[in-house]
Structure 1
Amino acid sequence: MTARTERPILGLLFRAAAMLLMSTLVMLLKLAGERGIATPEVMFWRQATTIPIMFVALALMGRLGNLRTRRWKSHAARAAVGTAGLFCNVTAAVMLPLAEATTIGFTAPMFAVLVSVLVMHERVGWWRLSAVALGFAGVVIIAQPGHAPVPLLGIVAGLGSALVVAVAAFQIRDLTRTEDPIACVFYFAVFGALIASLMLPFYATRHDLGDILVLLGIGLSGTAGQLLITLSLRQAAVSTVIVMDYTALIWSTLFGWLVWDRLPPSVTWLGAPLIIGAGLIIIWREHRLSRAIPPANAMEED
């Protein structure tokens, strides 16, 4: 295998553009909910739009062989988990203001630590455990229990989406040992669209041009965002580019102001730094351990 040239600046630019598109996706998800489009329909078109786009693009590049796989069950399991996460993501986007929905999504690294402890039985030291506590303290501040300005169900859905992201990360890590990343995205869309299609007979309705444009925008922004995330990881390491994920808060705040004339309340600005800081601590700690400590000893030194 030949060594791959790192292009960190290009990777950061790809990741920043991906966060703009993913923030656009969340904004369109909220618009779809306000227009009365049922969540199963949104989920179906989010996934179904990806399939022809990727298939045609790969065919034009002569790379259809990248989709070759023998791990159909693993792809289906990944799609089942991811579909549950997409349901939570759509619910959170509809019920919560954009900035709050985006901020709650930043708890994924904290759930990854908890999954490592509870499921993988890994040893995790006080650095990461303290970061988890700090992050969830930020969630409590934003949720304001007892005051109920933010829908509790929306908070739960946002946390559920973040949990699924953490679980899916372990599934993707396993899949990419043998599968092309493009194949992972493609079959996630295929199986996800099939799962969502089972609910269409009960929820599908007629749509006007505005609804159709929103649904197409959801599919296109989600597909392009996923592609740019993949491209960013081809140019630089995860630990280098992931910091750009937090720029999504800037875009979601801007969209909330431009589209709904709403700026986040003061409690969001108090809780968001705790959640973001916790995520950065976890990322920094894992990056430091992976570089400074042999794999055999990493779990003992944290």
Structure 2
Amino acid sequence: MPLPSEAPSETGRARIAAIGLMCAAVLVLALLDTSVKWLSQSMNPLQVVFARSVGGMILVLAVLNPWTHPGVLRTSRPWLQGGRSLLMFGTTLLNFIALRYLQLAETTSIMFAAPFVVALASGPLLGEWPGPRRLMAIAVGFLGVLVVTRPGFGAMHPAALLSAVACLCYAFYALATRVLSGHDSSQTTMVYSGAASALATIPLLPWIWETPQTPFVWLMMFVLGVLGSFGHWLLILAHRLAPATVLAPFVYSQIVWMLLLGWLIFDHLPDRWTFAGAGIVIASGLYLLYRERVVRR
């Protein structure tokens, strides 16, 4: 049995490993969005969703299936699982379409508003009402999103609206995940998430399919599934080693990768308003996390 003095050291090492896994997951997911944007320039976004979903579903079912995990398809909340899966499909599709027109940093900055929506909706849906300080942080965070999008000034592409709706879908997807965590296993939820998007896009293939002209495009379609599954697997490993309140701030490091990849791959550099708005959103999100920890203590 380890001595009491050793316990903090072990906890510290686990948290450092979790932070490393979280940063790696954020990088992998940034590469996923970059690949999606590249493919969407010459391919129907629904076909890109199909490639991401089917590739991910194959990889997930190779590990999580009724033979290796009996009962993995059994759910006590089928309607909630279905609704959550559709929200994930909506998030993916809308974000992929937005990526076709917007810079990587722009879509990421808008999606960073999801925690604010979750905090607002948690009151009426889960009974977790935010206090006045957190409400102020939420208001400032939404102000940051308005700085990025600048509605009414003609500075942002209309696809920013799609990214905003994707953010809403993702927020309610996160709330559904929290509710399901008390009823179904994470393996069951993961299988349903992967299958829903694939099943939704397969019937549409005859109308949207465009045969890739080069082997590299075929490779990139396969890479989407690998990156998506690997990124979410890293997230799961990270959350096994450390609580979400420790890991959440490192999600914001994604903006660094998006800026770098957008510049290297697409020669995109956001304007000063995007930088300013992203900074406001990140600062508000970090303060919201800080208040969450204070309230829990």
TM-score normalised to structure 2 length: 0.89
Following superposition of structure 1 onto structure 2, how do residues 63-78 of structure 1 map, counting pairs within 5 Å?
Answer: 63-65=68-70, 67-71=72-76, 72-78=78-84
Matching residue of 2:212 = 207
Q: Is the 8 A contact 1:19 1:247 kept in 2?
A: yes
| Structure 2, gaps ≥5 residues long | 1-9
Matching residue of 1:81 = 87
Identity %: 25
Following superposition of structure 1 onto structure 2, how do residues 20-39 of structure 1 map, counting pairs within 5 Å?
Answer: 20-35=27-42, 37-39=43-45
- Find the partner of 2:17 among 1, 7, 10: 10
Aligned-partner SS, 2:151? coil
**Are 2:251 and 1:271 aligned?**
no
User: Structure 1, residues 136-184: CA drift from partner, whole Å, max 9, x if none?
Assistant: 1111211233432321x22212221221221111211122213221221
Aligned-partner SS, 2:182? coil
Matching residue of 2:6 = none
* Number of aligned positions between the proteins: 284
Deviates further, 19-28 or 281-290? 281-290
**Are 2:228 and 1:233 aligned?**
no
The offset of 1:214, in angstroms, is 2.1
Deviates further, 219-228 or 63-72? 63-72
Matching residue of 2:101 = 95
**Are 2:173 and 1:168 aligned?**
yes
User: Structure 1, residues 181-221: CA drift from partner, whole Å, max 9, x if none?
Assistant: 12211211112211122322221121122321221121111
Q: 1:158 to 1:216 in 2, by over 3 A?
A: same
What is the alpha-carbon distance in structure 2 between the residues aligned to residue 181 and residue 224 of structure 1?
16
For 1:21, give the aligned amino acid: V
What is the alpha-carbon distance in structure 2 between the residues aligned to residue 52 and residue 26 of structure 1?
20
The offset of 1:258, in angstroms, is 0.5
- Find the partner of 1:222 among 203, 228, 234: 228
**Are 2:60 and 1:54 aligned?**
yes
For 1:42, give the aligned amino acid: V
What is the alpha-carbon distance in structure 2 between the residues aligned to residue 176 and residue 65 of structure 1?
19
The offset of 1:65, in angstroms, is 3.2
What is the alpha-carbon distance in structure 2 between the residues aligned to residue 58 and residue 125 of structure 1?
40
What is the alpha-carbon distance in structure 1 between the residues aligned to residue 47 and residue 283 of structure 2?
36
- Find the partner of 2:200 among 195, 203, 208: 195
What is the alpha-carbon distance in structure 1 between the residues aligned to residue 278 and residue 266 of structure 2?
20
- Find the partner of 1:148 among 138, 154, 171: 154
Q: Is the 8 A contact 1:88 1:161 kept in 2?
A: yes
